[in-house]
Amino acid sequence: MRESRPTELCHLGIQSKTIGEALVKLPLVGQYIERMIALNSKRGNNAQEASNEGPTTLAAVAIYLLSLRRWYRYQKMMALRRKGIAVVADRYPQVAVPRMKIDGPGLASVPCHNAVIRFLARREKALYAYMTSYRPDIVIRLNVDLETAYARKPDHRYESLAIKIAAVPQLEYQGAPIADLDSREPLADVIAQAKQAIASRLADR
């Protein structure tokens, strides 16, 4: 794309794992943060989700801050668009599936046990309403089966990957055109197909 127009890459993910790894290295508070991450990670497993326990207030604050981080990155992306720069965005926000690990809101579908969590959930909903008000020109959706995904990311929980893969067909991105690609194919072929889909879409504009 840079051969034909100014283009920038924007990552809109929250990078919670990277942030967590950095926080646990902090002096004095690192060990406490590590214990809290471990506690709230347990709250996020399938059994806890089924019991509708919901996040602690501290966890809800952390979830909201991560959503705020995504909103900030989104604002930077939109600033590029206003300058006439084409943007290739990774991890575009969506609201069809309310799960933060699938780039959706983290507080939309959890029990809100107190006023603080309810307030944060409302604020997060407003952030995502704004971020999803803009429809992408095209979405490149990389499809993969569970076994291949787990082989590529053995550090991820098998059950978590299964949930993500099952949710992918539900992601609709405000009705944007979606190019479905098979990511099990050779990388060069997948890249070529993605480039062709983008070129065709831009030619139609």
117-164 tens-digit pLDDT: 999 999 999 999 999 999 999 999 999 999 999 999 998 889 989 988
- Of 1-10, 104-113, 175-184, which range is least confident? 104-113
| pLDDT tens-digit map of 61-113 | 888 998 999 999 999 999 999 999 999 999 999 999 888 778 999 898 788 77
| pLDDT tens-digit map of 17-69 | 555 555 556 565 556 555 555 554 544 444 444 445 778 888 888 889 989 99
HSE toward the beta carbon, residue 20, CA cutoff 13 A? 15
Percentage with pLDDT > 70 across the chain:
81
Q: What is the mean pLDDT of residues 182-195?
A: 95
Reference 93, options 166, 14, 28; nearest CA is 14
More reliable by pLDDT, 38 or 204: 204
Strand (E) or helix (H) holding 8 = strand 7-11
pLDDT of the residue at 178: 96
pLDDT of the residue at 42: 46
pLDDT of the residue at 87: 95
pLDDT of the residue at 111: 81
pLDDT at 16 exceeding the cut of 70: no
Concatenated DSSP letters of 18-76: HHHHHHTTSTTTHHHHHHHHHHHHHHTSHHHHHTT----HHHHHHHHHHHHHHHHHHHH
